[in-house]
Structure formats: structure tokens, C-alpha cells
Amino acid sequence: MSGIQLRKINKYFDNNHILKDLDLFIEDGDFMTLLGPSGCGKTTTLRVITGLENPEEGVLTINGKEMVNGAKGYYAPPSKRGLNLVFQSYALWPHMTVFDNVAFGLSINKTPKAEIRAKVESALEKMRIIQYKDRYPSELSGGQQQRVAIARAIVTEPKILLLDEPLSNLDAKLRLEMRAELKRLHRELKTTIIYVTHDQVEALTMSTKIAVFFEGHLVQVDTPRNIYRHPVDLRVADFIGNPKINFIDADVAYLNGSLTAESELGTLVLPGASSGAGSGKAVLAVYPEDILISSEKTEGAAMLSIYSVMPAGSETLIQLTTRGDNLLLAKVIGELDYPVGKMVWVTIPQEKVNVYDKETGRLIP
């Protein structure tokens, strides 16, 4: 299979161990997002792939060709790796028009003039900024400049495009628009994209795969859907989802293929548990949108009181107080106006609950 393979990559800055035994495969055509909190090693991983940083240990191959071999001290120069990188600061040349900025990479490759014009115009059209081609960067908004930077990166038709927080300087509306553009671009160009962000919504909306990092460790690599539905540990569960996932302490016991979880929300029986599930202290994780609220008693429901109601346009966020005085957040579509203090019935569909070992933080299968 062709793609980018990282094997046992270790990178140190002075005595700090920054990337720890990193194993990652990015398949041709993937939109792979490196996701994680600030300082976890995402940008360093990108820089290792491009050759701007050299890892002390590990092997990197691109389409089977060895680019890095730490043990042999071999590092292919960035220019030999066939990659194209767009940084967070998009650094356009201020004295050049949009057209010339985008044409620059082609001009130095000695491409014929007519071909340059056709390719630049096509890239500007793809990014929907053709109307600004004669302007200078200072005459453009941040979002338009960002599009120029991306047009400059795609004009040379790179097989692999690396983007480091390219939308971080944009306002919420533009960011949403650009996410859609990038996703469309990925489909159209069939380029492999490696994208760095700490924004989980960005990762979930655009990627075909997400690699989640914590403190230099790669914790989970999977499709956005699987990362969202089955975070492998409590750190990932805590990081994914907006508003945040609820954590509820529970005692679990495994019996005949089912896991019984006793918590302040009552007894939940979760079928399909593996025999390794064991018994003991656990944490249940459930997204706010999976909590069902009713004024009427339903089978297996727990009675909780309304703590606060926060209308948010098309949805309503509701905080509930549990018997143990903990808060639970529910997200309900539509407008709902319960009075504070009202007692309501709350259920959680068992298929929407993930159970974690409280001690190790790992998902119980």
C-alpha cells in the first residue's frame, strides 16, 4: 500500500522526550488529522515528515522509499520528499500580486508562461478567489489571504499536502466556509492531506482519519465516527465532543456476557461485554445529546432535578443535578423550558454508554 509510514519515531529536544515510539501509517488519499492539546507533538510530527526536524530514532518511508533512518543517521533533505507545506502564518509576499504569489512555485520550475497562467487561474478558481488575482495581500481579508496560501500550495499539484493549523486565524464563519472548501478540495484533487489542529470539531468534520496525540504518545488512530463513538481512553473522551461528554462514577460487574453498571443514575445492563471486562470501579461516559429527559416516568429512568436551562438557538442545554449532587449536561434539540428545581425522568440508552476502567482510564470492551 502506498503512503507515509512512521515506525518507532522518537524525537528529543535537549532532554525532553517529545515524540514517543510513534507508529503511524497515512494511506494515499487520506485526509489525516493530527489532533491533540497544545504541546502534544503534532507540529513536531509534521516537521519530522517534511524533514524540517530529524528524529533521533525510527524510520520514515514515503511510498516505500526510505526518507529517514535514525539508526543509520540517514535523513533525506526536505526537497527530495515531494511534500508541500502550508503553515499557520501563511507568509505571502507583500510586494507580489495574488497571481504572482501563486505563480511563484511554477515560475521557478521554468514552466511555460501559458501553462502557468492556466494553472494559477484554475487554483484561484478552486479557492474561489479569482476575482482578487491582481490585488496585493494587504488588500485582502485574513480569510482571502489564507485561500491564496492554499492556492499557492495546490498549484504545483503536490501528491501530499501538509497543513498546520491553517484556519486558526479566521473568524468562526470563515472557518466554517474554509472547512467545507478544504473538504471539497480533498475530494477533487485526491491529494493526501496531513492536517494539524487542536480543534476537535475541525478534525471530526473534515478528516477521513484522525490520529489523537497526548504528551508525545499516539493514543488512537481511527475514523472520525469511531473516535467519537468509542474513544479508547478517558483523555480522548474528555477531549472529543462539544459540549463535553459526561463522566459518571459506577461500580461494574461482569456476568454471562453482560456488564451491570450501578451508578447514581440507577442500574444499566450493557450486553455484549467481553469476558475480560471484570468487576470494579468504572467511569461511564455519555454525550449530552444521548441523555433523554421526560416529565413522565419511563422504564428504568432516574429522577433528577433541573439545575439550569440554557437556550442555544436550535437546541437547549440542560444541567441536571444527580442524587449525589453532581451535574449532568443534556443537549436537547428544540426549545425546552423546564423550571429550575423541577424533577424530571432521565434515561440513557445502553448502546450510547462507554465504560472505562477508573484506574487505567482504558475503554472496557
* Binding residues for ligand ATP (CB under 6 A): 13, 18, 36, 38-44, 198
Asked whether the beta carbons of 362 and 232 are under 8 A apart, the reply is yes
Nearer to ligand ATP by Cβ, of 18 and 221: the residue is: 18
- CB of 5 vs ligand ATP, minimal distance in Å: 20
Give the CA diameter of the chain.
75
Residue 33 has phi, psi (to 5 degrees) of: -105, 130
Nearer to ligand ATP by Cβ, of 160 and 211: the residue is: 211
- CB of 36 vs ligand ATP, minimal distance in Å: 6
Nearer to ligand ATP by Cβ, of 13 and 93: the residue is: 13
Q: For helices 172-189 and 142-154, what crossing angle results, to 10°?
A: 10
For residue 331, what is the enclosing H or E element?
strand 327-333
In the numeric block, the cell 487505567 is attached to: 360
| DSSP code string of 74-106 | EE--GGGS-EEEE-SS----TTS-HHHHHHHHH
- CB of 221 vs ligand ATP, minimal distance in Å: 16
Nearer to ligand ATP by Cβ, of 11 and 119: the residue is: 11
- CB of 130 vs ligand ATP, minimal distance in Å: 32
Nearer to ligand ATP by Cβ, of 215 and 222: the residue is: 215
- CB of 194 vs ligand ATP, minimal distance in Å: 13
Nearer to ligand ATP by Cβ, of 36 and 58: the residue is: 36
- CB of 38 vs ligand ATP, minimal distance in Å: 3
Nearer to ligand ATP by Cβ, of 61 and 88: the residue is: 88
Count of alpha carbons within 13 angstroms of residue 26, beta-carbon side: 27
Query: Smallest Cα–Cα separation from 243: which of 169, 196, 308, 322?
Result: 308
- CB of 209 vs ligand ATP, minimal distance in Å: 18
Query: Smallest Cα–Cα separation from 22: which of 3, 33, 38, 6?
Result: 6
| Burial readout 295-316 (b: 16 or more C-beta within 10 A, e: otherwise) | eeeeeebbebebbebeeeeebb
**Quick one: cell of 55?**
528524529
